[in-house]
Amino acid sequence: MCVTTVLGIESSCDETAAAVVRGDARIGRGEILSNIVFDQMDLHAAYGGVVPEIAARAHAEKLDIAVSRALDEAKVALDAVDAIAVTVGPGLIGGLISAVACAQGLALGSGKPLVPVNHLEGHALTPRLTDGLAYPYLMLLVSGGHCLFLIVRGPGDHERIGTTIDDAPGEAFDKTAKMLDLGIPGGPKVEAKAMGGDAGRFALPRPLMDRPGCDVSFSGLKTAVRMVRDGLIAESGMSEQDVADLCAGFQAASRDVLVGKSRRAMARFREEFPAVDAPGFAVAGGVAANTVLRAGLKDMTQGEGFAFTAPPLALCTDNGAMIAWAGLERFEAGLTGDMVPKPRFPIASNPMTSIWSGKRGAKV
């Protein structure tokens, strides 16, 4: 048994977060001793999205508070941690610089080793922190800047088998919310509205379902939502029920695409690992907080012989515990990396698919 304690720091988008996690990388199911997250929703709400300069300033103000609270709550002195893990990318450069500088200062003062972490690997390894999922497993990573199907073989060893050719699903949720004046954060607002809606009222597309492979597309769906909205406004204005029906229709279309492509990703996984019995299928990232999507994925997974895992909602959106855990696995595996903040930082080593168009999300 090799129990390691890691402080994790995350500020790559609009959450300033720090956490202390303890565990054994070979076993998984780490203990989250503390998990402090300061969100910045109030600061960005008036602008309808994350403003990078405002985010950077808020991170710089809150990072040291988040770290000291995380250590206090965990009742762990900095001297007692084995390593300090920090997100170095991908993300908004201001927040990444602040976190890296904060971690370097802590390391200099304490003599503790630094572990640079890819934010996406933090999401990808969360099912090991929460459920001890065994390698290799299939992962659907759905967030504000990404949509990735990954075969996760080990820390630092990920194969991308599908991605979005345009928008990320979270981006589509956020833009739908914006079009319908629902405010931020878009995903939860759309989900809440959709609860009272009729998902079948509007005929919305399920893009790329007619093409082979695991790549997805959300920009056509987003445009279809805009066209329905414009049509309704031109007719007689939008009622509360119209908004609810459109949200429900959009959410159902997103679910259908992600569920359908996940089934294909499972077939691909089976080709590569025919001997793995009841392999794990995990969903993570901010959009994995969507209950309709989770339910759709869970239902489908049962019929495919995979074991479904979805981290608790608080560990789906950005947090420090996932960075601490990814750092812990990397530290125990002796993996290193440089401490240079990287706004773009692919998680997988295999090249992008030929149709990938390189849309510029905050996390791309």
Judged by the rule CB under 5 A, the positions of this chain that interact with Zn ion are: 143, 318
Q: Least Å distance between CB 118 and ligand KG4? A: 12
**Nearer Cβ to ligand KG4 (250/269):** 250
Q: Which does 170 bind (CB under 5 to 8 A by kind): ligand KG4, Zn ion, none?
A: ligand KG4
Q: Least Å distance between CB 49 and ligand KG4? A: 10
Within 286-315, which residues bind ligand KG4 (CB under 6 A)? 286-287, 289-290
Within 102-161, which residues bind ligand KG4 (CB under 6 A)? 143-145
Closest CA relative to residue 31, chosen from 89, 73, 63: 73
- Residue of the chain from 137, 173, 202, 281 that contacts ligand KG4 (CB under 6 A): 173
Angle (nearest 5°) at CA 184 between 183 and 185: 145
Q: Does 285 bind ligand KG4 (CB under 6 A)?
A: yes
Q: Does 95 bind ligand KG4 (CB under 6 A)?
A: no
Within 2-31, which residues bind ligand KG4 (CB under 6 A)? 13
Residue 8, Cβ neighbours under 10 Å: how many? 33
Number of residues that bind ligand KG4 (CB under 6 A): 20
Q: Least Å distance between CB 54 and Zn ion? A: 18
Q: Which residues of 53-66 are buried (b: 16+ CB within 10 A; e: fewer)?
A: ebbbbbbbebbeeb
Give the integer Cα–Cα distance in Å for 158 and 119.
13
- Residue of the chain from 170, 280, 311, 327 that contacts ligand KG4 (CB under 6 A): 170
Q: Least Å distance between CB 285 and Zn ion? A: 6
Q: Which does 332 bind (CB under 5 to 8 A by kind): ligand KG4, Zn ion, none?
A: none
Q: What are phi and psi of 353, to 5 degrees?
A: -65, 160
Closest CA relative to residue 348, chosen from 64, 11, 120, 55: 120
Q: Which does 290 bind (CB under 5 to 8 A by kind): ligand KG4, Zn ion, none?
A: ligand KG4
Q: Which does 191 bind (CB under 5 to 8 A by kind): Zn ion, ligand KG4, none?
A: ligand KG4
Within 320-349, which residues bind ligand KG4 (CB under 6 A)? none
Q: Does 363 bind ligand KG4 (CB under 6 A)?
A: yes
**Nearer Cβ to ligand KG4 (318/332):** 318
Which residue in this structure is represented by tokens 């996984």?
A: 269
Q: Least Å distance between CB 113 and ligand KG4? A: 26
- Residue of the chain from 185, 197, 296, 341 that contacts ligand KG4 (CB under 6 A): 185
Residues that bind ligand KG4 (CB under 6 A): 13, 143-145, 170, 173-174, 185-188, 191, 285-287, 289-290, 317-318, 363
